Chain A
């Protein structure tokens, strides 16, 4: 009887540990929500909201808000990973690599956009896809992240992507 109780306790403990590991720990989730700013600190009309979560904490999921100042959002996602500084705007180390489908341009499938957001240096830049023939630099700038979600509006009439 004692032995059976012991096994049950171990099994329960194991299940508890496993279930805790499977759930995203709310304390480990970081919210990002900010306006894209120019390199001089002036606000663009659009911004980005996303959660950084997971274990390891490298998952990114959220949306690019007020895209092209049009009042619509585009769902975005990605990962946190190291990127060589030569590809960043004045940043070093890990960045949030965020894929944005809303930069669709022209007839057809649209042009891919990849944002590099450095949470340590508060810098961002993005690249346009060249369809396999080489990427193009889109824009770069700064950001500041507050305590939580912000109002997704702006008096600015220029988006980070319309430069």
Chain B
């Protein structure tokens, strides 16, 4: 073997050893977990159609019906419903005699509409847990913004084996607080498209500039 070939082999060995060493240092996860980068939040890319009952979340919802069909997500209220556009994050609040459009999503759509367009690192934990009678895989998402905002959120999802991995429990931790959402009565069948109908332009009910409740006295 020529001397320069020997030097090349030695150099390659050093580089290979260094790479293996660095990889070992970056792996802080337990041996039973593996991590992958993803460009999209799996909450949005998977589970394109479902209906369920949600409890908890950012708005402390309690037994609220939630439906998803593609980019539309609906939440039911006593005398109205809200349709969220998961792409634009706009929301229409529609009642029998009113309609109002907001530029931000309804709180009940959390965490599906949270951390929009963030970077995602997915970690699958090997151990399984049983939640509400469902055997679940556990996945942990680490979400960070694509800009320089100092935000790091972790989303722990209990994905039910018998519901094609639908997360029946989601815990989101960020900034020292944890919010939990649970989903029951989950169906992965596509909801009736009629549920997501909403006026393209709100034109009924209380409108911009219309008085709400007439004042009772001089308090105003």
Residues of A near any B CB (own CB < 8 A)? 30-33, 37-41, 85-87, 89-92, 105-111, 118-123, 127-128, 130-138, 140, 142-148, 161-163
The residue among A39, A86, A108 with the most chain B CB atoms within 10 A of its own CB is: A39
Give chain B's interface residues, CB within 8 Å of chain A.
Answer: 58-62, 77, 79-80, 89, 91, 93, 95, 97-98, 100, 102-107, 109-110, 113-116, 118, 145, 149-151, 153, 174-180, 205-220
Check if B179 sits within 8 Å of A32, measured CB to CB.
no
Residues of chain A within 8 A (CB-CB) of B60 are: 105, 161-162
**Minimum-distance CB pairs A-B, first 8:** A108-B177, A122-B212, A147-B217, A136-B107, A142-B212, A144-B213, A145-B219, A108-B176
Cα distance, A118 to B215, chains bound together (Å): 12
Among A33, A130, A135, residue most surrounded by chain B Cβ atoms (within 10 Å) = A130
CB contacts between A and B, total, < 8 Å: 147
Q: Given A144-B214, A163-B59, is A127 in contact with B104 using a C-beta cutoff of 8 Å?
A: yes
A140 to B210, CA, bound (A): 15
Tell me, in angstroms, the Cα distance from A85 to B216 when the chains sit together: 24
A85 and B104 contact, CB distance less than 8 A:
no
The answer to whether B215 and A133 have CB atoms under 8 Å apart is no
Contact check, A136 vs B105: say whether CB atoms are below 8 A apart: yes
| Given A41-B213, A90-B206, A90-B210, A147 and B219 contact (CB-CB distance below 8 Å) | yes
The answer on a CB contact under 8 Å between A90 and B208 is yes
Contacts of B220 in A (CB 8 A): 30, 119-120, 145
- Taken together as a complex, chains A and B put the C-alpha atoms of A136 and B206 apart, in Å, by 21
**Are the CB atoms of B175 and A131 closer together than 8 Å?**
yes
Choose one: A41, A133, A135, A146; the contact of B217 (CB below 8 Å): A146
A163 touches B213 (CB 8 A): no
Q: Is the CB of B219 within 8 A of A133?
A: no
Give the complex CA separation of A140 and B59 in angstroms: 13
| Minimum Cβ distance to chain A for residue B155 (Å) | 12
